[in-house]
Amino acid sequence: MRVIGIETSCDETGVAVYDDKLGLLSHVLYSQVKLHADYGGVVPELASRDHVRKIVPLIKQALSEANSSLNDIDGVAYTKGPGLIGALLVGACVGRSLAYAWNKPAIGVHHMEGHLLAPMLEENAPEFPFLALLVSGGHSMLVQVEGIGRYQVLGESVDDAAGEAFDKTAKLMGLDYPGGPRLAKLAQKGVPAGYKFPRPMTDRPGLDFSFSGLKTFTANTIAAEPNDDQTRANIARAFEEAVVDTLAIKCKRALKQTGYTRLVIAGGVSANTRLRESLAEMMTKLGGQVYYPRGEFCTDNGAMIAYAGLQRLRAGHIEGLEVKGQPRWPLDTLPAVD
């Protein structure tokens, strides 16, 4: 089976073609970073309009690079949610229209399920069951995964997600958009300098996350300290270490609770080097293994949507003719794939 996947949930237009026997045949991505840089963040209306401009050329490019025509495609997958409603509707309209015109089945894919399954694109793919840490600009959650569609959310953000906290803190430090990766790069120059930032919600039971208080603590530290380059780098490091430690502590709790020995990390923040190193060290000590997608599949992309869509289409999950975006969509409401 061969599926084309379309991703338009936020500020990246991604298209990919995936074959269940040959693997990933093509993967093209257009990022809107430059478009939104002047505004310091994503402007939803501009994002939607840019998806409209880029999506058809990218579909043609992905098909060409996959050496595929419409006759070779067996199904169309597109991101249905969560995400920005205008951006979602662009992908949903185009994806559903292509499926209708080509007389192919279509499926709307959950964006976070795409991230969760992204490590399956790698040669060293995890087996079920496993614990998944999904960390991105809009989500931080721990998920017990018994199979595709068999998800139990063990903990999630009660306010700012980890990626959102990175971006907002970077803005407080005067770093350009996108701030999260720039803050992580600045943190590499930092050294321990007596800063001890809080590890939020680790002093109480439970697996939920909260990073808004850490952001405020960092803002107060920035205001109270000298504004030289080394101090800024030290503060960035202290912030990053606090986020990473918090995520690691919660992962360790969840692994103990589930008894699992496999940990998957996915989403944009999973590309963070310090986070990967910390979780790899933790899993080695626990006698387990950590899995994550390559860097280009940590951020939003069409490959993860094509893969997730193929699994559901192959199981007979097909969307009707209705074009619908779902900006809010609990992950644990998805049907299981038998």
Q: What residues form the annotated binding site for Fe cation? A: 111, 115, 300
For the record, the structure tokens of 141 come out as 């959650």
* DSSP 8-state assignment for residue 175: P
Nearest in space to 20 (alpha carbons), one of 75, 60, 62, 64: 75
Question: What one-character-per-residue DSSP string does 112-139 give?
Answer: HHHHHHGGGGSSSPPPSSEEEEEE-SS-
Question: What one-character-per-residue DSSP string does 302-316 give?
Answer: HHHHHHHHHHHHHTT
Sign of CA dihedral 316, 319, 325, 329: negative
At position 241, the amino acid (one-letter code) is E
- Say if CB 68 and CB 17 are below 8 A apart: yes
- Say if CB 109 and CB 5 are below 8 A apart: yes
- Say if CB 47 and CB 10 are below 8 A apart: yes
Task: State the binding site for substrate.
Answer: 134-138, 167, 180, 272
Task: State the binding site.
Answer: 111, 115, 134-138, 167, 180, 272, 300
Distance of alpha carbon 203 from alpha carbon 148, whole angstroms: 33
Nearest in space to 263 (alpha carbons), one of 271, 187, 39, 254: 254
